[in-house]
Amino acid sequence: MTFSDALKCKECGKLYPLEAMHVCKFCFGPLEVSYDYDEISSSISKESIASGPLSIWRYRDLLPVSGSDYVDLGAGFTPLVKAERLGRYLGLKNLWIKNDTLNLTGSFKDRAVSVALSKAKELGLKVAACASTGNLANSVAAHAAAAQMESYVFIPTDLEAVKVITTTVYGRNVIAIDGNYDDVNRLCAEITSEEPDWAFANVNVRSYYSEGSKTLAFEVAEQLGWRVPDHVVVPIGSGSQLTKIHKGFTELYRVGLIDSEPQVRVFGCPTTGVFPSSKRLCTRTRLREACEAVDDSKVAGYRKPSGWSVCIGCGSCYEGCCSGSL
């Protein structure tokens, strides 16, 4: 059973059925899964979560999948490690690191892909696919193998061999495109419109895919004894994980698992190399600067109403340059 009831346009609010689509037909805004939170409140409890599996599926009431036949390789429930020495170096008393490298294919992508392919199976889609620069490719190929679905992974032709090798361990169709990551994405969008049976993790089932990232926020709160941190620093590419981590903390309050409205501020850290095609984007932000900024009320000016900020550490470009795709 699922408490998700619709896809809702983040721009104009128009509602759609829970199908394989991710863009509003009227305003081209992104679609997001919406839930009946009152129903979830009466079903979910700290005890019901504690008795669930040690994976993202312990939070199933807050995920958009019916039934319990998940495509599950055990994503999630990764350690939250107290970083004493790094914290001291940065001047932070309580610094924790969520070690999501311990997911099966080595990144948080397993959370999102587990949800995306579970939904794809439920919708009767036959092939799993994605555009990727490495981590997503590995995760899609691995989960597709577990689900006995064929997978097609599209990558830019200049990707490091070491990333491609792991993908080919799980899936046999790895297609290198002579172009950059944007070109690969455009091609995947075209294929999506021609192949109704294909589930592209980051195209037509993206709304479900990105819901998986919320589970990182749920876990952090649970691992801290149902408390929400003051600040969270998240690596960003498209920014999907960043916005969903904020949504995750908010939902915990909405369904009564935490008592007060979270005051958490979520910061995005772009990493050199994750924006292969855009020279406009800030590459100067480093974890060090991000953490210093967190410690320093100067960043208040960068605050956005929804509670997250981008491009801290680079005062010159926060206005819009990174927020376009968020």
Ligand X SMILES: *Cc1c(COP(=O)(O)O)cnc(C)c1O
Q: Which stretch binds ligand X (CB under 6 A): 91-99, 122-130, 229-237, 301-309?
A: 229-237
- Candidate residues 22, 60, 98, 109; the one interacting with ligand X per rule CB under 6 A: 109
- Residues 59-96 as b/e (b if ≥16 CB within 10 A, e otherwise) read bbbbbbbeeeebbbbebbbbebeeeeeebeebebeebb
Binding flag, residue 235, ligand X (CB under 6 A): yes
Binding flag, residue 139, ligand X (CB under 6 A): no
Nearest to 254 by CA among 6, 35, 11: 35
Rounded-to-integer distance, Cα 281 and Cα 323, Å: 10
- Candidate residues 71, 128, 236, 299; the one interacting with ligand X per rule CB under 6 A: 236
Binding flag, residue 240, ligand X (CB under 6 A): yes
Phi, psi values for residue 17, rounded to 5°: -65, 160
Binding flag, residue 287, ligand X (CB under 6 A): no
Q: How far is the CB of 4 from ligand X (least distance, A)?
A: 20
Q: Which stretch binds ligand X (CB under 6 A): 113-121, 233-241, 247-255, 316-324?
A: 233-241
In Å, how far are 167, 230, 304, 316 from 307, measured between CA atoms? 36, 11, 6, 20
**What stretches of the chain show up as alpha helix (H) in DSSP?**
37-43, 46-50, 84-90, 109-122, 135-146, 161-170, 181-194, 206-211, 214-223, 240-254, 287-294
Binding flag, residue 173, ligand X (CB under 6 A): no
Q: How far is the CB of 311 from ligand X (least distance, A)?
A: 13
Q: For residues 241 and 309, which CB has a smaller minimum distance to ligand X in the complex?
A: 241
Binding flag, residue 64, ligand X (CB under 6 A): no
Q: Under the rule (CB under 6 A), what is the footprint of ligand X?
A: 107, 109, 135, 235-242
